[in-house]
Amino acid sequence: MKVFNNWLETLKQIVRDNPKKIAISLIISSVVIGILFFLVSYSRTAIRQNQIEALVYPQILSDKLVPLPYDQESEKIKKNRCYFGIICQTFQSRFPGNIAHFRKTRQ
């Protein structure tokens, strides 16, 4: 406990002696941390986009299948709700009793 109090008193003395220096240091460190956070979040997106372009796009050999741009995928999927309808129609043709049960439980 004595070591903790001694350390705390030393810290208080440093802050009392140099309040302007401490404030400037806190502001600069906050800006640096903010910039680093932004760079990490941006680089993760860029890395993911490069991975998809390098691994997925070369494997698409069809001329009829056009891949979505990475930054537009979420918007395109939200706008086009027909994907679920296609899956349901396929599922219904194979298992008609299951779709009727699904509709009953959904209501």
How far is Cα of residue 20 from the mean position of the Cα atoms in its chain?
Answer: 38
At 66-84, the pLDDT tens digits run 777 777 777 777 776 655 5
Average confidence (pLDDT) over 86-91: 52
Average confidence (pLDDT) over 73-102: 60
At 21-60, the pLDDT tens digits run 889 999 999 999 999 999 998 888 888 888 888 887 788 7
Q: What are the tokens at 64?
A: 């009829």
Reported in sequence order, the residue ranges of the chain that DSSP labels E, i.e. its strands, are none
Q: What residues contact 52, with CB distance under 8 A and at least 6 apart? A: 70
Q: For 69, which DSSP code?
A: P
What pLDDT was estimated at residue 10? 86
